[in-house]
Amino acid sequence: MSASLNAAVATATATVVDPACAEPLAVLGRDVTVPLVTGGEVTYAALDYAASAPALQRVWDDVAAYAPYYGSVHRGAGYLSQLSTDLFEQSRVTVAEFLDCRPTDQVVFTRSTTDSLNLLAAVLPADCQVFVFETEHHASLLPWVEAHVTYLNAPRTPAEAVATLERALAHRDPHGPALVCVTGASNVTGELWPVKELAAAAHAHGARIVLDAAQLAPHHPVSVQELDVDWVAFSGHKLYAPFGSGVLAGRADWLQQAQPYLAGGGASRKVARREDGGVDVEWHTTAARHEAGSPNVIGVYSIASACKALTEAGFDHLVARERHLIAKVREGLAEVPAVRILSLFGDDAPRVGVISFVVDGWNSSHFAAALSAEYGIGVRDGLFCAHPLVRTLLGSEPQAQGECGAPEAAPGERSLNAIRVSFGAGTPDEHVERFVRAVKELVADGAKWQYRTEEGRCVPAV
């Protein structure tokens, strides 16, 4: 990190703050009111951070201040173009500092975590073997179709995860390239994975490792060097910067040796016609090689702004406050016998603010719809784009198919889906307290309104 960032971290973490008294970070939408089917309005409780976190007010202010100076990147001699280019490239430096990258690492800007991992899949060397746990989000489970993929069964402890990977790697072809893909924090259970230990196992067997940090980076510091991962991917819209950008950061060699992810302007350094009528192309060897087209300057700058805001707030402070909120939710749900929290590693496992559960006697879509319509609380229901994991946790066949996020049964019928509540740096205590009260009331008294299925969704009956 730079000296200024080190100073900001030291200032933010020097004072011990009681998490119960600490204020959440300012986010957009914190004062939005929504109508209730039972009458009146209420301030919306956004508890679906794992899907998209609200933008930090700091990010919005930074973007608004830059917007009048918006210009084409890398393509113009004018002042606004030059300013935008400097801002774009400085954002790359900011992200590298935020991730504690190695000096030789490249930071490539993409559209999302999904795009980042598909980019990495596209540059894999020939005959690369890929090892991935069935517990992954589809963004990190599915991109490897052109490689030889080994899917690993869901472990029930962090130690079992490491042992499972070591056994699989011990039987791989030792002469070819290999890649391990692992999540940092589950988007279903919130549980932290033993990334450093998995990286050590991968490297001991001559494999590389990519970290899906989509759910980790908004909640915990991520150090490429400390975790010893080869690449890390995350999305801006999970990191309080929801403007359609993502990051793939890590080792440059596979990226430099592969054909560009997209062919076009920006990726090409030199293009010339040949006498036979074709063209010769010299591609960039920098991150620009995989950033063809006009880049999303606003999205990139918003990620950099969010990285600075989280660093300056201090992750010690943010983690402590989030643990306070996690305890509130888990303790409240534990008081409701009908609620079962989904977990791989058990109640004592460290986790981020993502909790999934089911309620006996309720279809999860019906329950989520009632939370929204009757209490103004936004949560997620479904299989969370992690079908094999959720089905394993619910005791169903992990290979069964289902539409992502859509309910599979009418209200009151058994359905293979769950409810997910997720929160973070912008969540006030009142939101999680209202959520816990609402769960208890719905379980005890039932819904106050009638609901029906419409186009695959459970909605209030008119």
The separation between the first and the last C-alpha atoms of the chain, rounded to the nearest angstrom, is 56
Yes or no: say if 174 and 144 are a contact pair by the CB < 8 Å rule. Answer: no
Residue positions annotated with a catalytic role: 385
Q: Which amino acid is at 400?
A: A
Of residues 203, 117, 101, 152, the one with CA closest to residue 344 = 152
**Tokens standing for residue 391:** 């089905």
Give me the phi and psi of 461, to 5 degrees please. -75, 135
Q: What is the DSSP string of 99-140?
A: TT--TT-EEEEESSHHHHHHHHHHTPPTT-EEEEETTS-HHH
Of residues 340, 441, 458, the one with CA closest to residue 390 = 340
Give me the phi and psi of 283, to 5 degrees please. -90, 150
- Name the CA radius of gyration of the chain, rounded: 23
Yes or no: say if 134 and 151 are a contact pair by the CB < 8 Å rule. Answer: yes
**Tokens standing for residue 109:** 């800007």
How far out from the chain centre does Cα 117 lie?
A: 12
* E strand residue ranges, 134-197: 148-152, 178-183
169 CB-side CA count, 13 A: 26
What whole-number distance in Å separates Cα of residue 148 and Cα of residue 178?
9
What whole-number distance in Å separates Cα of residue 115 and Cα of residue 139?
8
Angle between helices 158-170 and 195-204 (to 10 degrees): 10
Yes or no: say if 10 and 412 are a contact pair by the CB < 8 Å rule. Answer: no
Yes or no: say if 45 and 434 are a contact pair by the CB < 8 Å rule. Answer: yes
Yes or no: say if 323 and 331 are a contact pair by the CB < 8 Å rule. Answer: no
Q: Which residues contact 347 (CB under 8 A, 6 or more apart)?
A: 330, 341
